[in-house]
Amino acid sequence: MVGNTVSFTVQFFQRWSRRPYPVSDADSIRINIRQGANKIAAAVQIGSSMATEANLVKATFTVRRAGQYHIDINLGSIPIRGSPFVKYFRPGPPDPSKTTLVRPTSMVVCTAGIPHQLLLEPRDEYGNYCSWNHDAPGQQKALDAFSCEAYAIGSSDIVRPLVQWLWVELMHRLIINVTFNEEGIYGVRLKLDDSIINKGEFNMIALSRSEAVQVEKALVTRTATYETKLLTINGEKWNKNKKVFFSISPKQIALKEYILGIIPKRLATFRLCPATKVTFLKNTNKQEFPVLVIEDGAQFTVELSSKEAHLMAASFAHYLLKNIGGSETFTDKQGFFYQEIRKFHQKKPHEKLLLRVERDKILESSMKLTKSFSTTDWCRNYEISFIGEQGLDWGGLRREWIELLCVAIFDRRHSGLFTSFSEDGQALVHPNPKMPASCKLKHYEFAGKLVGKCLYESSLGATYRQLIKARFTRSFLAQLIGLRINYKYFEHDDPPLFLSKIKYIEENDVSDMELTFTEDEYDEQGKLLRTVELIPGGTRIAVDNVNKYRYLDALAQHRLVNSVRDQVDAFIRGLGELVPDNLLSIFDENELELLVCGTSDYSVAEMKAHHAAIGSSPEFQKVISWFWTAVTNFGSEEMSRLLQFTTGSSQLPPGGLSELQPKLQIAASPCFGTLPTAHTCFNQLCLPDYENYEQFEKALLIAINEGSEGFGLV
């Protein structure tokens, strides 16, 4: 079973005399353990100073992946008798943190009296799919550990729905049929032993048959309106009954009241996207009907009470799932996003368009070329040519063009369009509130179009996938999808300020700090330039322990939002030309970073699992062995440079190396002693032969550090 440490011993004897044969490193004993394409590291002890163990080889390794393992044991180039040995390791028991629902949602709508199907994927602590093939007792014992708890929202009374469990071995999935006999709003917890499984706590709304038909009709007519009582809005509680109307459509939720019964007045509007959360208060003893809470992180929470609260929430859940493709997981939303953006631009041809740009003036020349481009032009398939250089663009030059533009735009050391809140080399970048005179808002609009271009290209498939090499602040990403910024963003975006000021104010008494709702701004020499009021009349409002969180939020609005509002608006304007804002809003800020920037983190094990070796000569086998030894010792920067040298980009698709197209290739080069070369169009690294490891390592480091730009080495 996975999770165990496995040890085995090999005894060596002389062929004819059958006497124990003392082994040593000179005997070239090799033990290779493989599970699929993965090579498993093992601790190997060859021989011993004790005479009774001098002929023994001991190997120890830990099993983390379920499946069939092949163990090759060779003496020199000759396999020992019985090699390779095959061993199968079963997955471990289900783990609640790894077990998850398929296509999970925070709110499930069903019909009372009719079973609703949920799909569960049991996995062990290492992420292996659980399997009990030919082990009926073990299967029953494991499945008996799962349970489904339910309670009524509002009263917290325990409810016992009818639950049927069915294990499908071929799918590695557990089918759960849940039936509520009565209409209502229920909280549900799926548990393994005493722990709630991953994303296993959610609400279920059981509608009557007539109510289910009513909600379906609302989806067809694309609008529904419900009467409700307003309890809280704009941070204020309403003690008296205030009748308002909850209107929902595929794009938004609108709260309205009618003055004199005929004049509509809009009180609040929420976008219909995952950032908007619609939940129920668990205990509503003071209210006759369920209390619905609406929040989106961009404005104050709204609380409503209505006998139709379940219909309001059900309509929201149906519209939301339709807007995001039916699932709240990133992978499913990403697929839906790509599908919708292709549909949005389906009438625009993806024909080739040659762009001749200057490497030394990459931003200026690119902006000049695209100045009069329409949206259709931005959707075309660019072929890049660097003026004064040779090289045909089969995709590698286009990726390099994107990479160079990202450096010119987003690297704080270049144009000054973006900056960081600290001098730390790993600091995140944010639009520059003090942009140089040479920078204009049109630069931010171009940057937005570039990001939109990359997202559109990525939707066309792995061959065209483009990623942005940048590490944006969370507050900037949040503004792109319309979220309201609060002081908690400082912890991630501006750690020095958070640790020196924000955290102290948050955790301590501020009565003696003599703070007001203002912010002093200084120049680079420390001279006071001006004092900014964070709210109207802020100089006259003291910060105390009651309003300190309002002060911190106002400070976040000033430093992270208001100071760069024009820059962000220009960026969004450019981005919106290629990507509709309703599509971006299906992601949160962390998912948006993954979508736009991918990930640059990858391991040697991942590289070994997702590469193709081209060459079989003994010389190449020696060199590729040196290559793995070298990259095992690389740091993160060298790994990024190696990736950039080989593929033209230091960022990976969201799925890592497994999604890289074409697949990473390591090929033999018919040369001796020269520098390694790369064909970025084909993600191919070519390795010549060398006299020894030291020469190879030196040449590889020179190539990836000094040959990462241009086609001079190809």
Name the 3-class secondary structure at 76: coil
SS (H, E, C) 344-410: HCCCCCCCEEEEEECCCCHHHHHHHHHCCCCHHHHCCEEEEEECCCCCCCCCHHHHHHHHHHHHHHH
Instruction: Give 41's DSSP letter.
Output: P
C-beta of residue 575 within 8 angstroms of C-beta of residue 460? no
Residue 599's DSSP bridge partners are 652
Residue 120's DSSP bridge partners are 101, 174
Rounded Cα gap, residues 267 and 472, in angstroms: 34
277 φ, ψ to 5°? Answer: -110, 130
Rounded Cα gap, residues 589 and 568, in angstroms: 15
**Which tokens hold the place of 212?**
């289910």
Based on the number of CB atoms within 10 Å of its own CB, is 641 exposed (0-12), middle (13-18) or buried (19 or more)?
Answer: buried
Rounded Cα gap, residues 281 and 488, in angstroms: 24
Name the 3-class secondary structure at 122: coil
Instruction: Give 177's DSSP letter.
Output: E
SS (H, E, C) 315-361: HHHHHHHHHCCCCCCHHHHHHHHHHHHHHHCCCCCCCEEEEEECCCC
Go through 484-502 and write b for each residue having 16 or more CB atoms within 10 A of its CB, e for each that does not. Answer: bbbbbbbeebbbebbeebb
At a CB cut-off of 8 Å and minimum separation 6, what does 289 contact? 229, 305, 306, 307, 309
Rounded Cα gap, residues 673 and 702, in angstroms: 13
Determine the residue type at 532.
V
Residue 252's DSSP bridge partners are 271
Element housing 597 (H / E): helix 589-597
**Which tokens hold the place of 239?**
């003690």
Go through 353-370 and write b for each residue having 16 or more CB atoms within 10 A of its CB, e for each that does not. Answer: bebebeeeebbebbbebb
Determine the residue type at 183.
E
Q: What's the full length of the chain, in residues?
A: 714
* Residue-by-residue DSSP string for 659-678: G-SSPEEEEEEEEESS--EE
Rounded Cα gap, residues 169 and 99, in angstroms: 15
C-beta of residue 396 within 8 angstroms of C-beta of residue 643? no
**Which tokens hold the place of 553?**
């939020």
Instruction: Give 431's DSSP letter.
Output: E
Element housing 313 (H / E): helix 309-323
Rounded Cα gap, residues 183 and 441, in angstroms: 55
Rounded Cα gap, residues 407 and 360, in angstroms: 12
Based on the number of CB atoms within 10 Å of its own CB, is 543 exposed (0-12), middle (13-18) or buried (19 or more)?
Answer: buried
Diameter of the chain by CA atoms? 110
C-beta of residue 669 within 8 angstroms of C-beta of residue 619? no
Residues with catalytic annotation?
681
Other CB atoms within 10 Å distance of the CB of residue 674:
14
**Which tokens hold the place of 372?**
């009069």
